[in-house]
Amino acid sequence: MNLVIKKILVAIRRHIHYVSWTSVVSLLAAHMLLTWVCLFAAKETELLGINQFIYYYIVTTSTVGYGDLSPSSDWGKLFVALVQIPIGLALFGVVLGKVGQSITGLIKASMTGDKDYSGQSEHILIFGYHPSRTRKMINYILADNKRLERRILLAVDEQMTHPFSDNPHVDFVRLSSFTDVDELKRVAIDGADKVIVDGNDDDHTFTTALKISRLVHSSCHISAYFLDESKSEMLREHCKNVESTSSKSVEILVRSMQDPGSSRIQEELLSTLHGDTQFSLEVGDIKQNVKFEVLFFHFKKQFDATILGVAHNRIGEGLDLNPPLEMEIKQGDILHYMSVERVLSDEVDWQSMS
């Protein structure tokens, strides 16, 4: 007996799966119309108003049955008992089944990476997954208290399930390739605001960064990580909108040997989890050029922030560390500073300095 019931339930679920939402809505609308017409024919005038009918239909068909609205004629009662409730209950069951399937499908798609994020915009894209390193990336991003509340979308090209399903800020997508244009549309590559490329190896990172550099919008910033410095330099030559970096472990090791404590300074500057961190800010609306001295003391006094250097664009070209106090700073220059928290552009009184 239990086996028969299970087979019936499986058959029902299979049929519900193949019924489209269009068909379900059409059947529900037809049933509502049939109910209204039959109640009209039975002269149930109290139930025919739009508000009353919708309320009556839902309460009665779902068998909640408050009893405040019900048919009074014999024909009306007969129709409700033999047609409206039996057929309506079946339709309600189909609707609930479809809703349950849709929710289950969305959860499954988000876990397996099959979900389509082509409607995303202003999000942070991370290409590639490394268990320890990627988790640190996400922790550092989220630790920036004044960051814009962008969604983080992790894209992988290997078989796996969502590694950060417990983090509500991180979405997950699995692509067949990081260089396929149709696949990149699923992650809304043209709508991303920030991109990190951290492939399985340097070749993987290089080809991915090279491909997406032509697909992102003009204001999108791309960061790529390499182990081999030569690959990093090659990418800089071909892609002016990509900031490529390579491992600096040797430099840090030598610096900490020659100047003890240097490695600790590097950790503090790079981590948003504790202590002062290095941030950047584009110089806002100033009427005329400003001396570095003015900016330096303004930031120190107003925000307890120390300006470390000035660059002429976002990827750090023409970076001048510890510039002379007389250096002229113009609108659009990038200030690199050290502070406990990020300073936002609208918090700075640019006009008073110019």
> What pLDDT was estimated at residue 17?
59
The least confident of 52-66, 202-216, 324-338 is 52-66
Specify whether domain 2-112 bears CATH 3.40.50.2300.
no
Domain ranges of the chain: 2-112, 124-247, 257-353
Residues 217, 191 contacting (CB under 8 angstroms) = yes
Using the structure block, give the residue that is written with the tokens 């090659």. 234
Contact by Cβ (8 Å): 200, 128 = yes
**How far is the C-alpha of 335 from the C-alpha of 309, rounded, in Å?**
6
Residue closest to 85 by CA, chosen among 45, 47, 57, 43: 57
Per residue in 280-306, pLDDT (tens digit) is 999 988 888 999 999 999 999 999 999
Token pair listed for 246: 């390579």
Question: How far, in whole angstroms, is CA 203 from its chain's centroid?
Answer: 27
What whole-number percentage of the chain has pLDDT above 90? 42
Q: Percent of the chain scored above 70 by pLDDT? A: 94
CATH architecture under which domain 257-353 falls: 2-Layer Sandwich (3.30)
- Give the closest residue to 299 by CA, choosing from 329, 334, 338, 346: 338
**How far apart, in whole angstroms, are the C-alpha atoms of residue 269 and residue 18?**
56
In Å, what is the CA distance from 291 to each residue of 283, 320, 324?
12, 14, 9
C-alpha 300/C-alpha 151 separation (Å) is 32
pLDDT at 18 over 70: no
334-339 and 277-282: which strand pairing?
Answer: antiparallel
* Whether pLDDT at 334 is above 90: yes
pTM of this structure: 0.67
Q: Are 117 and 153 a contacting pair, CB within 8 Å?
A: yes
Using alpha carbons, select from 97, 102, 94, 73 the residue that is nearest to residue 31. Answer: 94
Instruction: Check residue 175 and give its pLDDT.
Output: 94
What is 124-247's CATH superfamily?
A: NAD(P)-binding Rossmann-like Domain (3.40.50.720)
State the Cα–Cα distance between residues 264 and 269, nearest whole angstrom. Answer: 9
Task: Report pLDDT digits (tens) over 197-206.
Answer: 999 999 999 9
**Band of pLDDT at residue 251, cut at 50, 70 and 90:** confident
- Taking the C-alpha atoms of 261, 264, 266 and 270 in order, what is their torsion angle to the nearest 10 degrees? -170
Angle between helices 262-270 and 249-258 (to 10 degrees): 130
What mean pLDDT is predicted for residues 191-214?
94
Q: Residues 107-133: pLDDT tens digits?
A: 776 778 888 999 899 999 999 999 999
**Residue 171 phi, psi (nearest 5):** -100, 165
Counting beta carbons within 10 angstroms of the beta carbon of residue 189, is it exposed (0 to 12), middle (13 to 18) or buried (19 or more)? buried
Among 40, 41, 39, 70, CA closest to 55: 70
